[in-house]
């Protein structure tokens, strides 16, 4: 996470947020490659890799699914997000306000902020499994644990959450610096986890590592499950256009290839390494295998691994809390950023107490994308198709409306139907529905805009 998972901090926050980025502020590809590589080597990768094993992915399906899915994600960033970002050079929020109106953007901000808090909560949970390792009284959560595992666990989570919130309230510059220093080292620790685990495996046959047998009552996924997850775990960022905040600074379209660093170093290699850690636990303990990242990493590479889990969780949770605070501040502009970040930190810490967000991370990330990505379809229609189809572009700005009903329905209805369909058709992961929901949103926005604008309702 992400990343899946990880919200992106613009290279120059609070700059040009209500205007086009001027030419002199544009950045070359080098600025983006390092940033994406670091941002997609996060604490949650330690959770996603093991979950693939727990969802019964076979070796061939894992490798092929990751190669194809990550390629599709890179192509989406390169040929959809980057062209839109370069054409507009606005933040997502600024463009949304022109299309949807101020009030609808407020609703989007709330959904965004809340989902950021839950995501940061999962990162706090992951960090707590590392901090808890030296304390035998801390009961590590397992697949079945949705509730806090005890007082000691709760105390560790609250301490980590409080510390992360305190730092986030002071801004994110120090954490961003530590994240940049840590990035190359963290990637090597991920690789080290794999190297140090292989000799301990009782069998190195690929079919004995990725057995294809689900663990902990999870449904089985194969190639399509891995492919869709790899493609859409960052759907909010590429299809949902959240990365416009970053890529609006891109000097040329080739900057859009930079996410490849995050996808292939972070998601491919880190997920495979992390999945090896859990495969070893399964070979050693069978059904009793623990999925908690802290103990697994400590077993493989010792204290350096624990430090890596904490730093990876910290450096991703902090900007997430910060961004959630900004989203909440967008709802109530009179509230100070410090208060908004405190609220976000409290919600995040409360979420971190419940291991369900981490243990069901594949599901949560899928829902996260399904809720936020459809907004990107509305932007794509507005930018590329509106003129050709005779629809007014930037309708809210042109009509002076603060609430575009067509945009609201085109966002909410397909997402709600997608959520229902995941349960009704027993899809193993919500990411199966992300693309249909996104396409449905775009199509519905075209139809509703045409009907409403024909009837004189501009927005």
Which residues within the stretch 75-134 sit at the binding site for another protein (CB under 8 A)?
none
Applying CB under 8 A, which part among 298-306, 319-327, 384-392, 427-435 lies near another protein?
Answer: 298-306
Name which of 162 and 188 has its Cβ closer to another protein.
Answer: 188
C-beta pairs of 105-108 under 8 Å, 24+ apart in sequence: 105/330, 106/330, 106/331, 107/408, 108/375, 108/411
Name which of 34 and 148 has its Cβ closer to another protein.
Answer: 34
Considering the complex, what minimum distance in angstroms separates the CB of residue 182 from another protein? 8
Considering the complex, what minimum distance in angstroms separates the CB of residue 166 from another protein? 21
The count of residues interacting with another protein (CB under 8 A) is 23
Q: What is the dihedral of CA 443, 444, 448, 451, to 10 degrees?
A: 50
Interface map 258-297 toward another protein (x if CB under 8 A):
----------------------------------------
Burial of 144 (0-12, 13-18, 19+ CB in 10 A): exposed
For another protein, the binding residue among 307, 350, 413, 439 (CB under 8 A) is 307
Interatomic CA distance for residues 89 and 20, integer angstroms: 5
Considering the complex, what minimum distance in angstroms separates the CB of residue 289 from another protein? 20
Considering the complex, what minimum distance in angstroms separates the CB of residue 292 from another protein? 19
Considering the complex, what minimum distance in angstroms separates the CB of residue 417 from another protein? 44
Q: Provide the CA 396 distance to its chain's centre, in angstroms.
A: 29
303 part of the interface to another protein, by CB under 8 A: yes
Interface map 167-196 toward another protein (x if CB under 8 A):
---------xx--xxx-xx--xx-xxx-xx
Considering the complex, what minimum distance in angstroms separates the CB of residue 282 from another protein? 20
Residue 8 CB contacts under 8 Å (≥ 6 apart), including other chains: 35, 39, 237, 242, 243, 245, 246
* 441 phi/psi in degrees, rounded to 5: -65, -45
Asked if omega into 2 is within 30° of 0 (cis), the reply is: yes
Considering the complex, what minimum distance in angstroms separates the CB of residue 197 from another protein? 9
Name which of 196 and 407 has its Cβ closer to another protein.
Answer: 196
**Residues pairing with 356 in the sheet:** none
29 part of the interface to another protein, by CB under 8 A: no
Interface map 206-225 toward another protein (x if CB under 8 A):
--------------------
Considering the complex, what minimum distance in angstroms separates the CB of residue 368 from another protein? 29
Name which of 120 and 311 has its Cβ closer to another protein.
Answer: 311
For another protein, the binding residue among 26, 64, 304, 385 (CB under 8 A) is 304
Q: Do 313 and 127 form a contact (C-beta atoms < 8 A)?
A: yes
Q: Do 187 and 41 form a contact (C-beta atoms < 8 A)?
A: yes
Interatomic CA distance for residues 360 and 354, integer angstroms: 11
Considering the complex, what minimum distance in angstroms separates the CB of residue 179 from another protein? 9
* 354 phi/psi in degrees, rounded to 5: -100, 110
Considering the complex, what minimum distance in angstroms separates the CB of residue 191 from another protein? 6
377 part of the interface to another protein, by CB under 8 A: no
Angle ∠(445,449,454) on CA atoms, nearest 5: 160
301 part of the interface to another protein, by CB under 8 A: yes
Name which of 13 and 393 has its Cβ closer to another protein.
Answer: 13
Interatomic CA distance for residues 387 and 389, integer angstroms: 5
Interface map 308-327 toward another protein (x if CB under 8 A):
x-------------------
Helix residue spans in 286-404 (DSSP H): 293-301, 303-331, 337-353, 356-359, 361-372, 374-380, 386-389, 395-399
Considering the complex, what minimum distance in angstroms separates the CB of residue 195 from another protein? 4
Angle between helices 303-331 and 337-353 (to 10 degrees): 130
Name which of 18 and 204 has its Cβ closer to another protein.
Answer: 204
Applying CB under 8 A, which part among 16-24, 87-95, 249-257, 304-312 lies near another protein?
Answer: 304-312
Interatomic CA distance for residues 143 and 216, integer angstroms: 6
Name which of 265 and 381 has its Cβ closer to another protein.
Answer: 265
Name which of 31 and 402 has its Cβ closer to another protein.
Answer: 31
Considering the complex, what minimum distance in angstroms separates the CB of residue 458 from another protein? 43
Angle ∠(56,62,67) on CA atoms, nearest 5: 160
Q: Do 45 and 1 form a contact (C-beta atoms < 8 A)?
A: yes
Q: Provide the CA 208 distance to its chain's centre, in angstroms.
A: 30
Interatomic CA distance for residues 343 and 349, integer angstroms: 10
Name which of 153 and 172 has its Cβ closer to another protein.
Answer: 172
Name which of 151 and 185 has its Cβ closer to another protein.
Answer: 185
Binding site for another protein (CB under 8 A): 176-177, 180-182, 184-185, 188-189, 191-193, 195-196, 198-199, 301-305, 307-308
């Amino acid at each position: 996470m992400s990343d899946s998972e990880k919200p992106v901090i613009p290279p120059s926050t609070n700059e040009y947020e209500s205007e086009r980025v001027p030419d002199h502020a544009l950045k070359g590809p080098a600025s983006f490659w390092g940033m994406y590589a670091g941002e997609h080597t996060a604490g949650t990768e330690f959770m996603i890799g093991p979950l693939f094993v727990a969802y019964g992915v076979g070796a061939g399906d894992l490798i092929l699914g990751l190669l194809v899915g990550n390629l599709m994600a890179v192509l989406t960033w390169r040929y959809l997000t980057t062209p839109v970002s370069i054409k507009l050079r606005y933040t997502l929020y600024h463009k949304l306000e022109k299309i949807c109106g101020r009030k609808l953007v407020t609703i989007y901000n709330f959904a965004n902020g809340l989902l950021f808090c839950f995501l940061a909560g999962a990162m706090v949970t992951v960090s707590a499994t590392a901090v808890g390792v030296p304390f035998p009284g801390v009961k590590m959560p397992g697949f079945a644990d949705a509730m806090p595992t005890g007082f000691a666990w709760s105390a560790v989570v609250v301490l980590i959450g409080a510390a992360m919130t305190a730092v986030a309230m002071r801004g994110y510059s120090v954490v961003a610096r530590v994240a940049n220093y840590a990035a190359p080292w963290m990637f090597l620790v991920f690789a080290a986890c794999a190297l140090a685990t292989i000799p301990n495996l009782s069998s190195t046959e690929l079919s004995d590592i990725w057995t294809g047998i689900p663990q902990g009552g999870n449904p089985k996924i194969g190639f399509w499950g891995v492919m869709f997850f790899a493609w859409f775990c960052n759907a909010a960022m590429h299809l949902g256009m959240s990365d416009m905040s970053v890529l609006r600074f891109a000097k040329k379209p080739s900057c859009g290839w930079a996410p490849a660093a995050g996808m292939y170093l972070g998601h491919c290699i880190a997920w495979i390494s992390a999945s090896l850690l859990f495969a070893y636990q399964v070979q050693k303990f069978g059904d009793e295998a623990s999925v908690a990242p802290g103990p697994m990493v400590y077993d493989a590479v010792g204290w350096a691994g624990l430090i890596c889990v904490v730093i990876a969780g910290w450096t991703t949770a902090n900007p997430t809390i910060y961004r959630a605070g900004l989203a909440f501040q967008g709802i109530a502009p009179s509230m100070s950023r410090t208060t908004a970040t405190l609220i976000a930190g409290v919600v995040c810490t409360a979420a971190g107490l419940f291991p369900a967000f981490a243990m069901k991370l594949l599901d949560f990330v899928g829902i996260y994308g399904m809720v936020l990505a459809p907004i990107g379809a509305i932007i794509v229609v507005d930018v590329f198709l509106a003129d050709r189809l005779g629809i007014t572009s930037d309708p809210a700005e042109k009509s002076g409306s603060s609430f575009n009903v067509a945009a609201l329905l085109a966002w909410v209805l397909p997402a709600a139907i997608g959520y229902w369909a995941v349960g009704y058709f027993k899809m193993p992961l919500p990411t199966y529905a992300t693309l249909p929901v996104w396409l449905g949103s775009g199509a519905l926005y075209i139809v509703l805009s045409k009907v409403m604008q024909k009837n004189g309702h501009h927005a």
